[in-house]
Amino acid sequence: MQRLLDLGFIEVGEWRSISGGISHSIVRHLQAKNLLYAFVCKGEVCYIGTTTGTLKSRMNGYKNAGGTQRTNIRVKAEIMNVLHQSQRVQIFIFLDEGAHTFKGYTISLAAGLETVFIAAIRPRWNYRGNVRIIEQPTIPDEENAVLEEDISEVDIPLRIGQNPMEQVLVTLGTTYWNGGFFNLPMHLVHLLPPAPTPVQLYLNADAEEIQMQGNFLFANVQGQPRIYGGQQLAGWFQANFPVKQIIHVDIINPTTYQLHA
């Protein structure tokens, strides 16, 4: 927890057990956006996440977890387990003021730091075996939507170990590098899923693999195939590659992609 405080996190509340579920005591910064948050139990950082939506919407995602929201359901269960042991679950946030730029482009500090903090601190609720779990923002249907979707939590080896159906070279122009997406060639449409479809992304750099969820969609009226990863994917691009770097995209199957240099 002290590491969070040293990095500029502030405590805003805690989770509480209520009949049939959980609630939180946050009363400030509820409308803040573009932030990191952390759950701390007995001084241990147990979970780190990020949201481009409001803090209120993101916490409500845990409070009202249900349906197919695997990550929300899983983390809510972890919170409830700690609370049932009469222990506190404190909530900390890191506000991204949005004043950071690189060559004229605004950079999401929260998105970039999430990857760094999870790797450095290794919160136990962010990991399944050797696979690091990062929550992934998706394109919202409405302004106040909860922007993080859920990912598959099946343990996998550090390398997929499957021969790809197709390999594509992608040049990380500034639009891809800042926007956290990339397009695929039109002639590969027969290998791709219907749109929109959640897809699994395995990001390999420096002998470490990050698992995250993205979305397949058709980007424009011409039907350009696109894999969208948002701020998390942009943060990974920016942390590992310069603009104009050529990366490999392996299409393992229609909903599984591996990215590497």
- Residue 142's pLDDT is 33
- Interval 78-94 mean pLDDT: 95
- Residue 146's pLDDT is 31
Under 8 Å CB-to-CB from 11, ≥6 apart: which residues? 90, 91, 92
In this structure, the chain runs to a length of 261
- Residue 153's pLDDT is 35
- Residue 149's pLDDT is 31
DSSP strands (E only) in 43-162: 44-51, 89-95, 101-102, 105-106, 127-128, 131-133, 136-137, 148-149
- pLDDT tens figures, 91-105: 999 987 666 666 666
- Residue 5's pLDDT is 87
- Residue 50's pLDDT is 86
Yes or no: say if 182 and 176 are a contact pair by the CB < 8 Å rule: yes
Q: What is the mean pLDDT of the chain?
A: 81
- pLDDT tens figures, 104-136: 666 667 777 777 788 788 898 987 655 566 564
Query: Considering only 7-16, 29-38, 145-154, which range has the smallest mean pLDDT?
Result: 145-154
Residue with tokens 């698992």: 211
Does residue 148 surpass a pLDDT of 50? no
Residue 179 DSSP one-character state: H
- Residue 221's pLDDT is 60
- Interval 175-183 mean pLDDT: 91
What pTM, to 2 d.p., does this model score? 0.54
Q: Of the spans 117-126, 176-185, 222-231, which averages the highest pLDDT?
A: 176-185
- Residue 127's pLDDT is 75
Q: Give dist(CA 189, CA 43) in Å, integer.
A: 49
CA angle 30, 36, 40 (to 5 degrees): 90
- pLDDT tens figures, 44-80: 999 999 887 889 999 998 998 876 677 888 899 999 9
Q: Which of 208, 206, 257, 250 is nearest to 228 (CA)?
A: 257
Yes or no: say if 14 and 91 are a contact pair by the CB < 8 Å rule: yes
